[in-house]
């Protein structure tokens, strides 16, 4: 018994027309791709799910189509197919119809394909944003070595700290992977990036090259502060130990003053103890007063630390509500 094909799928005896003649279109010509029967025969000899999905995706790409995971508002994950609408669209759909039929012959294959697409962020997500869950996912991602960044053009980026992952034992690596997947699950939701950008702008620090960086409290800021403070103290000790009238006296003073300026302006304070140290150094540097540049930097530190505290409070309250 012959099963009727959907109306948008070409029949076996339907001629394949020539492709559209347009200088901006470069879709593959269906007359030149691997014949459908050959594709299906190759897939029939692939027993392993991973190898099958890899070959399936290769064939889909060859015929000029794409697959994407689609999260509906109710959370259901569906497989979406996209591609050009041209003279050969019915034939692309014919190839795809039978490729998907082979994919679904084994239930686990579609699930594997969807997991791959989600992990690779080839997805479209219509689920509503959950601010509480997004906040928790951000904190977990950061606590496992991740960083959130906004580049000078305002684009949100992630740094998964791969070097730390590669050196982790098996169990922590699995935990890190779970935290990463949970973060990107939230990241891909509709308008979630806006919530994440707000957290980076509120809690992050700005680098010398214009990036905003948010990471776990103390992971890098403590190290930066400690290095800058140690350098200042070393240069200050060198200057203080130098005899009056020494030929290098002025150069030594200039060196420790430059180190002090960097500590006050360019290095974010990791905590309130560091803020207090900045205030003391700023008063000393300004002979009792505080220059505008120092005051601006210290105020930015205070605002950032207040924002971090509020972020923790909001997360704690959300967790209690759960």
pLDDT tens digit sequence for 20-39 = 776 566 789 999 999 999 99
Per-residue model confidence (pLDDT) at position 288: 61
Per-residue model confidence (pLDDT) at position 159: 80
Q: Which of 24, 132, 27 is nearest to 84 (CA)?
A: 27
Per-residue model confidence (pLDDT) at position 118: 85
Calpha distance 33→320 (Å, rounded): 57
Q: Please, which pLDDT band fits residue 66 given cuts at 50, 70 and 90?
A: very high
Between these two residues, 148 and 290, which has the higher pLDDT value? 148
pLDDT tens digit sequence for 197-207 = 888 887 777 77
β-sheet bridge partners, residue 205: 213
Mean pLDDT for the stretch of residues 167-171 = 46
Q: Which of 180, 156, 163, 49 is nearest to 102 (CA)?
A: 49
Asked whether 51 and 57 are in contact (CB, 8 A), the reply is no
Place of tokens 């140690």: 230
Task: Give the global pTM.
Answer: 0.51
pLDDT at 165 over 60: no
Calpha distance 122→235 (Å, rounded): 52
pLDDT at 278 over 60: yes
Q: Which of 157, 57, 37 is nearest to 112 (CA)?
A: 57
Sequence ranges of the domains in the chain: 36-125, 131-214, 221-321
Strands, E assignment, 83-164:
123-125, 147-150, 156-159
Calpha distance 295→265 (Å, rounded): 9
pLDDT tens digit sequence for 104-145 = 999 899 999 999 998 888 888 887 777 888 888 888 888 877
Radius of gyration over alpha carbons of the chain, in Å?
Answer: 29
Mean pLDDT for the stretch of residues 165-188 = 67
Calpha distance 65→141 (Å, rounded): 33
Distance of CA 229 to the CA centre of its chain: 32
Asked whether 99 and 53 are in contact (CB, 8 A), the reply is no
Per-residue model confidence (pLDDT) at position 227: 85
Mean pLDDT for the stretch of residues 158-162 = 66
Which three-class secondary structure state does DSSP give residue 315?
helix
pLDDT tens digit sequence for 258-277 = 999 988 988 888 888 888 99
Calpha distance 232→262 (Å, rounded): 9
Measured over the CA atoms of residue 218, residue 223, residue 224 and residue 229, the dihedral's sign is positive
Q: Which of 5-14, 87-96, 279-288 has the lowest mean pLDDT?
A: 279-288
Calpha distance 265→278 (Å, rounded): 9
Q: What secondary structure, in 3-state letters, does 35-55 show?
A: CHHHHHHHHHCCCCHHHHHHH
């Amino acid at each position: 018994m012959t099963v009727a094909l959907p109306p948008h799928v070409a029949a076996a005896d339907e001629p394949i027309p020539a492709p559209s003649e347009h200088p901006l279109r470069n879709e593959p010509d269906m007359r030149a791709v691997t014949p459908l029967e050959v594709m299906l025969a190759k897939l029939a000899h692939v027993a392993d799910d991973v190898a099958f999905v890899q070959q399936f995706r290769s064939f889909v790409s060859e015929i000029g189509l794409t697959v994407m995971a689609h999260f509906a508002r109710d959370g259901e994950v569906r497989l979406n197919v996209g591609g050009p609408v041209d003279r050969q669209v019915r034939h692309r759909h014919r190839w795809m119809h039978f490729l998907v039929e082979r994919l679904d012959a084994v239930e686990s294959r579609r699930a594997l394909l969807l997991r791959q697409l989600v992990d690779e962020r080839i997805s479209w997500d219509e689920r509503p944003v959950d601010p509480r869950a997004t906040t928790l996912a951000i904190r977990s991602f950061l606590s496992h070595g991740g960083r959130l960044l906004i580049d000078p053009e305002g684009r949100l980026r992630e740094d998964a700290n791969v070097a730390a992952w590669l050196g982790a034992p098996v169990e922590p690596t699995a935990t890190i992977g779970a935290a990463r997947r949970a973060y990107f699950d939230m990241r891909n939701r509709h308008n979630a990036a806006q919530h994440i950008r707000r957290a980076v702008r509120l809690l992050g620090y700005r680098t010398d090259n214009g990036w905003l960086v948010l990471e776990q409290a103390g992971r890098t800021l403590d190290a930066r502060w400690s290095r800058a403070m140690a350098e200042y103290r070393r240069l200050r000790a060198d200057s203080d130990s130098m005899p009056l009238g020494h030929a290098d006296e002025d150069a030594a003073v200039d060196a420790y003053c430059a180190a002090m300026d960097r500590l006050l302006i360019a290095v974010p304070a990791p905590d309130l103890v560091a803020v207090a140290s900045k205030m003391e150094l700023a008063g000393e540097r300004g002979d009792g007063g505080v220059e505008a540049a120092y005051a601006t930097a210290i105020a930015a530190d205070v605002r950032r630390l207040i924002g971090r505290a509020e972020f923790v409070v909001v997360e704690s309250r959300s967790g209690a509500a759960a």
